[in-house]
Amino acid sequence: MKANGLFARILIAAVTAAPCLRAEVPMPLVAAFGEGEGGGMADDASLYADGTRAINESRWSDAAGLFDRVAQLHGERADGALYWKAYAENKEGQPASALSTCGELRKKYPRSHWLDECGALEIEIRGKSGQPVSPQAESDENLKLLALNALMQQDQTQAVPILQKILTGNQSEELKSRALFVLAQNHSPQAETLIDQIAQGQSNPALQVKAIRMLAIAKGKGSNDILASIYQKSSDEKVKRAILQSYLMTGDPAKLLEAARTESNPELAKTAVHTLGAMGAASDLLAMYRATNSAQTKEEIISAFIPCGPKGVGPLSEIAKSEQDAQLRRKAIRNLGIAGGMSVAPTLVETYQKNPDAETRRAAAQSLFLANDAHDLVTLARGEKDTAMKEYLVQQLSLMHNEEATKYMMELLNK
């Protein structure tokens, strides 16, 4: 089984952008790594198990000795034993010995899957000792990224140009994406300039959308002007959508409102409206609703009031009472139950009782169902004289897992 500790360390390094420190190895993980492929001699297996126990108990000197004995047997576990010997030596405060042991592993077992593990250990040791770390010298992309993280901590002036070469070179998109994330954790003027360039599509259009999101996270409100400039210049729908969604992170309802009002692309206008809803900008959405004559835009705004939560209840109530378009009015009534829950039950009951229009009454009943208000639905059903409407109310109640609804169902069955 190939060790997956390297992948865990890469994630830790990328997320924290801290010096490339190896994580402590959990007991189950060490135990799992102790299981070699195949059988091997009994002494080999027994010594390896003793070594893993020593690692788990932080007995570094014992572990180094035990794994050295396993390596000298030249069995199936020998390459893994050399790695764990190096690991223990480093923990014991003997980095030079650890580097020497990794060199032995590389020489004796050039195809071992433990080479990546020793490579990561070497990068860590050199990073701690202040020795130059050369990402270019690493052929494996994972190790290259670890080396870049270490170099970023040691010498940013060297690291940023190397990251730029990766981002503009022929490396895989996965490595470029990781390199961009590492770059975003650095707040030097050079790093910020490079991210700005990528966000504008100058260095790598394929990474532009990711750079836009990272720019918004890293700079917050400070990125709004750059994002607005990119939005105006770009004709790429994906880029423009990413910018609109980034305004949620930077907290800029004004630019979203402007896009919602002026954007000729209906899909982008829709994105702007719904992002305003996610931002809780209910008053801005209501002002826009009042100003527009587009039924489609109004319908999207009514939907956007739902993520506004309690802030959306007032606007939805106003639309439910005053909107002349029956379809829009019914949509607002239905959304009231989702946005307001039981708090809007009196409004929904009043809407049901005062409207002669059957479809509007159905919308109010459905909204009560969405608000999980079985009590008012039962009350309305008991007093309803219209057979078709009563059937609709009973249908809503039949879908509810509610004691009062179930009681009413039993009443009807026993009549």
**pLDDT (tens digit per residue) in 254-285:** 999 999 999 999 999 999 999 999 999 999 99
Residue 226 has phi, psi (to 5 degrees) of -65, -45
Mean pLDDT of 172-194: 78
Amino acid at 327: Q
pLDDT at 176 over 90: no
Number of domains composing the chain: 4
Q: What is the 3-state secondary structure (H, E, C) of 258-294?
A: HHHHHCCCHHHHHHHHHHHHHHCCHHHHHHHHHHCCC
Q: Tell me: the pLDDT tens digits for 103-120?
A: 899 899 988 888 777 777
- Residue pLDDT, tens place only, 292-305: 999 999 999 999 99
Residue where a domain terminates, one of 293, 319, 354: 293
Distance of CA 218 to the CA centre of its chain: 15
Tell me the per-residue pLDDT of 361-382, one tens digit each, with 9 for 90 and over: 999 999 999 999 999 999 999 9
Instruction: Tell whether 276 and 335 lie within a shared domain.
Output: no
Q: Percentage of residues in the chain with pLDDT exceeding 70? A: 82
Could you tell me if 224 and 271 lie in one domain? no
The residue to which tokens 């993980």 are assigned: 29
pTM of the entire predicted model: 0.61
pLDDT value at 42 more than 60: no
253: which 2 tokens?
């309802």
- Residues 15, 112 within the same domain: yes
Residue 301 and residue 284: Cα distance in Å, rounded?
Answer: 10
Range of the structural domain that residue 314 is part of: 309-415
One domain for residues 31 and 123: yes
Q: Identify the residue with better confidence: 397 or 165.
A: 397
Question: Is residue 203 assigned to a domain?
Answer: yes
Q: How far apart are CA 142 and CA 121, in angstroms?
A: 13
Q: Which helix (H) or strand (E) holds 318?
A: helix 310-322
Same domain, 287 and 352: no
In this predicted structure, what is the pLDDT of residue 147?
Answer: 61
DSSP 363-408: HHHHHHHHTT-HHHHHHHHHH---HHHHHHHHHHHHT---HHHHHH
Least confident of 26-35, 53-62, 131-140: 26-35
Query: Does residue 301 lie in a domain region?
Result: no
What pLDDT is recorded for position 157? 67
Q: How far is CA 324 from the centre of its chain?
A: 42
User: Does pLDDT of 355 surpass 90?
Assistant: no
- Which among 48, 50, 54 has a CA at the least distance from the CA of 34? 48
Whether 230 and 367 share a structural domain: no
222 with 132, same domain? no
**Is 299 domain-assigned?**
no
Query: What percent helix, strand, coil does the chain show, rounded to 5?
Result: 75, 0, 25
Helix (H) or strand (E) holding 180: helix 173-184
* Distance from C-alpha of 186 to C-alpha of 17, rounded to nearest angstrom: 8
CA distance 4 to 114: 10
- 272 with 322, same domain: the answer is no
303 within a domain of the structure (yes/no): no
CATH number for 390: 1.25.10.10
Q: Are residues 337 and 414 in the same domain?
A: yes
- Same domain as 166, residue 75: no
* Structure token pair of residue 340: 């307001």
pLDDT, averaged across the chain: 81
Rounded CA gap, 244 and 56, in Å? 50
Specify if 43 maps to a domain.
yes
Residue 144, pLDDT score: 59
Among residues 103, 127, 151, which one ends one of the domains? 151
Measured in residues, the chain has a length of 415
Q: Which of 109, 128, 151 is the last residue of a domain?
A: 151
On whether residue 20 sits in a domain, the answer given is yes
Q: Are 86 and 105 in contact (CB under 8 A)?
A: yes
Residue 99 has pLDDT above 70, yes or no: yes
Confirm whether 302 is domain-assigned: no
The per-residue pLDDT for 191 is 81
Q: In this structure, what CATH number is given to the domain that contains residue 121?
A: 1.25.40.10
Beta carbons within 10 angstroms of residue 382's beta carbon? 11
**In a shared domain, residues 19 and 133:** yes
Residue 304 falls inside a structural domain: no
Residue 31 has pLDDT above 50, yes or no: no
Same domain, 190 and 236: yes
